[in-house]
């Protein structure tokens, strides 16, 4: 697997976390350093580590290859609303 587009990462996360709202940004223009905001009700009652692990699972092998770095914000809908 070579470089990825933000849209591909968004699709993987949405596929693994149904109902999630996902925004992915390429931070460097090199298609290997990304920032993702993931808002999901599935994160309710989960620790920050558990939330990140859930997102990483949706990305599978991409985390061991084309994605070199991922800055991740994993929020519940209420947490996201509070930050707006």
pLDDT digits (tens, 9 = 90+) for 70-83: 999 999 999 999 98
Average pLDDT rounded to a whole number, residues 12-24: 98
Report whether 5 contacts 31 (CB < 8 A): yes
1 confidence band (pLDDT: 50, 70, 90): low
List the structure tokens of 32: 């290997």
Q: Supply the pLDDT for residue 84.
A: 81
Q: Supply the pLDDT for residue 3.
A: 86
List the structure tokens of 7: 């849209």
Q: Which domains does the chain have, with CATH numbers?
A: 6-83 (3.30.300.90)
Reported pTM? 0.94
The beta strands (E) that lie in the chain are given as: 21-26, 33-39, 69-75
Count other C-beta atoms under 10 Å from residue 8's C-beta.
17
């Amino acid at each position: 697997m070579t470089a990825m587009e933000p849209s591909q990462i968004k699709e993987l996360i949405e596929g693994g976390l149904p109902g999630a709202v996902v925004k992915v940004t390429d931070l460097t223009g090199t298609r290997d350093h990304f920032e993702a905001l993931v808002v999901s009700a599935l994160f309710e009652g989960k620790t920050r580590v558990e939330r990140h692990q859930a997102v990483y699972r949706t990305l599978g092998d991409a985390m061991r290859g084309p994605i070199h770095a991922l800055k991740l914000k994993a929020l519940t809908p209420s947490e996201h609303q509070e930050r707006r």
